[in-house]
Amino acid sequence: MKKFILLTLCLILSLSSYAQWDSCGVTNNNSNPQIEAMDAFIHFNGRLFVHNFMNGMQYSDDYGQSWDTIAQGRFSGVPVNFFTVDQKLYTSTLVSGAVGGVQYYSSDNGSTWTEDTAGMPGAVINPSFKANVIKAAQMGDYIFYQFRSPTQFYWRHKDSTTYHPDNFANTNFMHGWHFEQDTIWASIGQQVYYLSQARGNYVACPNNNLNNAFSGIIYKSGAYIYLPTRDANLDWILCRSNDNGANWDTVYLQNLLGTGSFGATRGVNSIYAQGNQVWMGPGSKGSGTTCEIFYSNDAGSTWTIESQNLPEDPFGTYAVVKFVNAGGYMFAQMAFRDIYRKAFNIGLPKRTASNVKLYPNPSQGVFRIESSLPVAKVLIYDLRGNTLKEYHRMNSYSVRDLRSGVYQVKIQLEGGKILHQNLLVP
């Protein structure tokens, strides 16, 4: 794989179907929506949840068409993080000027919340406060945590209140991590490692030609790994691998990013990928500019700049901090203003049903998919469009807990191709 690849800028007018983003209207009823902070956002159990400063916790059961408010007064501090464990929705707050946080969980889809702080480590500024959760994910029977704490990385059994420090991650300077297919992929030191067993041993990828891997952002999808970082000149680059971290090359991003707010170098805030399709959220271009999202369908070699219907940034503070794929839509969480969405499969080529076989149908508790291309993801929807199940690269798919009826199965093939089939559960 060639070590250095010059970035080709592919600037396409916003008439492309890919460039059509629309406001979800989270802040439509606010007197000044331009200053509204989007604190946290997630898709869970067929429902979108968002917390913003003025309106508090809101949810949508129709993928952003309308929003309802959950009664306030439940939280100490501001929820700034969502994650899920065993069909429970968790949130972590910031309290007392960000010196600490409080962790809560809900077992009833956000209606009621229970405080869950026993055993948590102390906060980085004031250890008398519990630490805020930066990021967390379930791995088997354990939860892997990154805290805003002097010791950042911990493991906790889901049924315990004992937190175990991850000594390897803490002493070897883990910068960023991504959980995919029951495996943690992490930027540690100047290398990429993976961990396939909770509280197990990290394994270094071969990492041929990987340099300057000090990155807080890493994304793994199939055999692809994406690592936005800076080179020795402090210019932004994208380190990428299409063979699970064995070999790497570099795409230069600085000419694409340009200068950002207050004359500073414009950086990368977020990234999302499905195989060789990549969405990237850059920092703000500055006050009075239009927000942008970058899209690539060739693993980052060329990029389309999407801006149609995205908001104007009045203060130089807007940026996409998170992407969520749910219900046939891609959602972009802005740091301020709103959540934006577009139809995920518009413009993507679809395979015909003859190329992919779903069997048995009617299902007998499980079904399988036969395809000439690898199946990256399978989602099951009810007839109202609610996402009921999501699977990643499995050999069989269980539907034993679904009621009798007809369901829609969305099949995402490696490389981004999509098709839909109906499934009868007797």
- Say yes or no: 311 and 361 in one domain: no
- Say yes or no: 16 and 146 in one domain: yes
- Say yes or no: 202 and 287 in one domain: yes
224 within some domain? yes
**Could you count the other beta carbons within 10 Å of the beta carbon of residue 257?**
21
User: For the whole model, what pTM was predicted?
Assistant: 0.77
Tokens of residue 257, six digits: 């990013």
66 within some domain? yes
Q: Specify the CATH number for the domain of residue 412.
A: 2.60.40.3080
Q: Please tell me the predicted confidence (pLDDT) of residue 15.
A: 32
The position carrying tokens 């309106």 is 55
Helix, strand or coil, per DSSP, at residue 27: coil
Phi-psi group of 21: left, alpha or beta (phi > 0 → left; psi -120 to 50 → alpha; rest → beta): beta
- Say yes or no: 144 and 108 in one domain: yes
User: Residue 94: which of 106, 121, 110, 76 has the closest Cα?
Assistant: 76
Q: Please tell me the predicted confidence (pLDDT) of residue 174.
A: 94
- Say yes or no: 136 and 235 in one domain: yes
Number of independent structural domains in the chain: 2
231 within some domain? yes
- Between the alpha carbon of residue 379 and those of residues 140, 225, 359, 392, 422, the distances in Å are 21, 23, 15, 9, 12
Q: What is the widest separation between alpha-carbon atoms in the chain? A: 62
**Could you count the other beta carbons within 10 Å of the beta carbon of residue 102?**
21
Low-confidence ranges of the chain (pLDDT < 70): 1-19, 72-73, 212, 344-355, 384, 415-416
Q: Please tell me the predicted confidence (pLDDT) of residue 72.
A: 63
- Say yes or no: 47 and 159 in one domain: yes
- Say yes or no: 322 and 405 in one domain: no
348 within some domain? no
- Say yes or no: 370 and 312 in one domain: no
- Say yes or no: 369 and 317 in one domain: no
Q: Please tell me the predicted confidence (pLDDT) of residue 362.
A: 85
Q: Please tell me the predicted confidence (pLDDT) of residue 377.
A: 86
Q: Specify the CATH number for the domain of residue 72.
A: 2.130.10.10
User: Which of 318, 343, 368 represents a domain boundary (last residue)?
Assistant: 343
- Say yes or no: 147 and 81 in one domain: yes
Chain-centroid distance, C-alpha 414: 18
d(CA 320, CA 280): 8
Domain region containing 102:
4-343
User: Which of 288, 316, 343 represents a domain boundary (last residue)?
Assistant: 343
Is the separation of the CB atoms in 1 and 224 below 8 Å?
Answer: no
| 400-417 core/surface letters (b: 16 or more CB in 10 A; e: else) | eebeeeebbbbbbbbbbb
Is the separation of the CB atoms in 181 and 188 below 8 Å?
Answer: no
44 within some domain? yes
300 within some domain? yes
User: Which of 289, 320, 343 represents a domain boundary (last residue)?
Assistant: 343
d(CA 363, CA 24): 36
